[in-house]
Amino acid sequence: MAPTSRAIIDTNQHHVGTEPHLHFYQKGETIPLMSQGIWQICQGLVRLSTLYPVGEEGLLGWAGPSMCFGSCFSYLDSCRATALSDVCLMFYTMIEIETSPKLTQELLPQLGRRFRQTEALLAIAGKRRVEDRLYQLLLLLKQEFGQSLGDGTRLNIRLTHQDIAAAIGTTRVTVTRLLGKLKQQEWISIDKDRHLILRNETFANSSDLFRFDRNTHCRT
Residues 44 and 112 in one domain: yes
Quote the domain boundaries for residue 38.
5-124
Do both 141 and 169 map to the same domain? yes
Residues 103 and 185 reside in one and the same domain? no
Of 160, 120, 111, 158, nearest in space to 139 by CA: 120
**Per-residue pLDDT in tens (0 to 9) along the chain, 220 residues:** 444 444 444 444 444 444 457 999 999 999 999 888 999 999 999 999 988 877 777 888 999 999 999 888 787 778 899 999 999 999 999 999 999 999 888 898 988 888 899 899 999 999 999 999 999 999 999 989 998 888 889 998 888 898 899 899 999 999 999 999 999 988 999 888 888 999 888 887 544 434 444 434 444 4
Radius of gyration of the chain (CA): 18
In a domain, 49, yes or no: yes
Against a cut of 0.85, is the pTM above it? no
Q: How many residues does the chain have?
A: 220
Q: Mark whether 84 and 167 lie in a shared domain.
A: no
Residues 88 and 149 in one domain: no
Please give the Cα distance from 210 to 220 (Å, whole number): 16
Number of H helices, E strands in the chain: 6, 12
- Do 30 and 97 belong together in one domain? yes
Mark whether 82 and 16 lie in a shared domain: yes
Side-chain-facing half-sphere of 68: CA atoms under 13 Å: 26
Closest by Cα among 1, 86, 2 to 45: 86
Query: Measuring CA to CA, how many Å separate 19 from each of 12, 90, 98, 125?
Result: 10, 11, 17, 42
- Number of structural domains (the chain) is 2
